[in-house]
Structure 1
Amino acid sequence: MKSSRLVSILLLLQTRGRMTAAQLADELEVSVRTVYRDVEALNAAGVPLYGDAGHAGGYRLLDGYRTRLTGLTTGETEALFLAGAPGPAAELGLGAVLAAAQLKVRAALPPELRAHADRISGRFHLDAPGWYAAADDTPHLSAVADAVWNSRVLHVLYRRWAEPTDVQRRLEPYGLVLKAGRWYVVAGPGPRTFRVDQILELTATGEEFSRPGDFDLAAYWAAYQRDFHQRLYRGEAFVRLAPGVRLPRAVDGPTDEHGWTLARVPVESVEHAHGEFLRLGTDIEVLEPVELREKIARTVAELAARYGGAAEDSGD
């Protein structure tokens, strides 16, 4: 563990420049005292690392010093090659760049790690989009990605679900997110989230904007998803589920003597839950809300009447 930590300190200072002992300790999840000992060990090994005292001080490497040591473990190598998703990279116009980068990394690996990388490439393939969803047409994706990278303002004609559907928007694109095969751009002011495939027209401008220094794309997206689900599932249904049946997001309760499980299920609306629960046929019984139970009962009665009449006609 210590050798891995020494490599991490070296690489952190190489990529980030000056860092304090406290910053290194936070990054590596160790004590400041441990960082002091590790720095002494690096100095003893001949690494040109020195510290500056004072408010703006910290540790840094001698100017121009670079190490070719990567310190990659077997697991880190496998994760690196798993992370290289060729489909999204190609959509962003980076397919050839990704292939070249992986080739260079693979060539730099020792033989045993190269073998693990080859096993990953041969045994795992990442394909994000769902089976029953057609691929989104995103002709403006590369232009959006370029604006994200260069902090350039975009003027777009955007199609939304509410009236008026087609609206003009000025976007300051902070980042791109790929979710379930669909691209989203997070843009200011706000920030707000837009589907890239709903951009009908796009004009790239030479106007630059300043991306907020404290903006964290991953943290924003996590909060956005939590808020989305809270707004989406505003109701709740109380149901009985047949043995072995489980529903996403359901909170299971006790099981009765027949093996049926009582559960509370978040739902979008009575109409949406009506269609979703009918898919389960006789494996579910809705107890509450009464409005949903009665709506399903009416549908079942209509189906019984329709198909019962068909059966009688065929019998004649």
Structure 2
Amino acid sequence: MRASRLLTILMTLQSRELVSAAELARTCQVSVRSIYRDIDSLSALGIPVYSEQGVNGGYRLLDGYRTQLNGFSKQEVETLLMLGLTGPAKELGLAPAMSEARLKLMAAIPAELRSHAERFQSCFLLDSPGWFTEGETVNHLPELFTAAWQKNQIEFDYQSWRGNSHRVVNPLGMVLKAGAWYLVAQPQDRTLDQARTYRVGRIRELKILNQNFELQVPFDLPAYWQESTRQMEAELYPNTAIIKLTAKGLRMLPGLSPPYVRQQTHIAETDDTGWTTVTLPSGNTEQALFEMLRFGPEVQVIQPEALRQAMSNVIGMMRGYYGEDESPSSK
């Protein structure tokens, strides 16, 4: 265990300019006193670790010091290979670098793990678009990635359902979700906590400006994405619907409900007639109507009244389509 901890400390110091003893203790899940002893051990082994005193002090390695550590475990090799997702890397313009990185990784790992790594690559494939859909063909991905990495301000025309608009933003990061790429950025006239999400496929006329930006505080892309996704789902389903489902309808419910709706759904007991009352989030009447129609005859809408009336109207129209006298071909 201690050898593994020493390796973790060394790799952390090698990847960071300055690290406090408290940070190392949290990373290694030990006491600060244990970190002090570990630093002494590293120094005794000839590792050039230096301490800086003061409130913002900590430990650092001698500038330029690097060590070759090839002690990969099988799980570590598998994890690194999974990071090399060739599809997204190619779209971002990183395919040559990814190929070189794979070659270097294969050369660095012990010989006994090399065949295992090659077999692992043949057993894992990422196909990110959902079934019966295609990944978007988008422009500007390499340029956007470079701008976000180098903190270059950008401007572009954006085409949304509201219309076309011109945007000047600070690009903060890129997200690949279900085969679609998104840009997370801070609009020029907003603060960092008012960052926005833009679908890359809707970006037109991109221009990278000769203007760098600096963030006053770090931006947590995963945390932002998780929270913005939660907010978007809540905005899509602001209302509540009460329905009744047959046993078949109950079996269909999980597959027809997105995760947010599933988490907020309440299922009551089944009554004597075989119908089960279900309370669940719903969108506007038009959206909820479409979702209810997917259940076919396995659903009854109880509330709201507007949705119940919309279901009645649509079912009446559909019945007319298949009547002998009112079919579309007879009109």
Structure 2 residue matching 1:221: 3-state secondary structure: helix
Say yes or no: does 1:228 pair with 2:235. no
Please name the residue that 2:148 is paired with. Answer: 148
C-alpha distance in structure 2 between counterparts of 1:225 and 1:54, whole Å: 41
Q: Is the 8 A contact 2:147 2:171 kept in 1?
A: yes
- Deviation, structure 1 residue 89: 0.7
Counterparts of residues 160-175 of structure 1 (less than 5 Å): 160-162=160-162, 165-175=163-173
Say yes or no: does 1:201 pair with 2:200. no
TM-score (norm 1): 0.88
Say yes or no: does 1:293 pair with 2:308. yes
C-alpha distance in structure 1 between counterparts of 2:235 and 2:225, whole Å: 15
Would you say how many aligned residue pairs link Structure 1 and Structure 2?
310
Judge which range, 171-180 or 88-97, deviates more: 171-180
Say yes or no: does 1:219 pair with 2:223. yes
C-alpha distance in structure 2 between counterparts of 1:25 and 1:260, whole Å: 57
Please name the residue that 2:32 is paired with. Answer: 32
Gaps of 5+ in 2: none
C-alpha distance in structure 2 between counterparts of 1:141 and 1:75, whole Å: 31
Question: Which string of whole-angstrom CA distances, capped at 9 and with x for unpartnered residues, describes residues 50-87 of structure 1?
Answer: 43433343222344432211543322221221122111
- Deviation, structure 1 residue 148: 1.5
Residue 184 of structure 1, aligned match among 182, 199, 215 = 182
Question: What amino acid sits opposite 2:198 in the alignment?
Answer: F
Gaps of 5+ in 1: none
- Deviation, structure 1 residue 308: 4.5
Structure 2 residue matching 1:246: 3-state secondary structure: helix
C-alpha distance in structure 2 between counterparts of 1:112 and 1:260, whole Å: 60
Counterparts of residues 1-316 of structure 1 (less than 5 Å): 1-162=1-162, 165-189=163-187, 190=190, 191-243=195-247, 244-247=251-254, 248=257, 249-250=261-262, 251-256=265-270, 260-309=275-324
Structure 2 residue matching 1:301: 3-state secondary structure: helix
Identity %: 39
- Deviation, structure 1 residue 157: 1.5
TM-score (norm 2): 0.84
What is the root-mean-square deviation in Å for CA atoms of aligned residues?
Answer: 2.5
Q: Is the 8 A contact 1:147 1:153 kept in 2?
A: yes
C-alpha distance in structure 1 between counterparts of 2:325 and 2:68, whole Å: 77
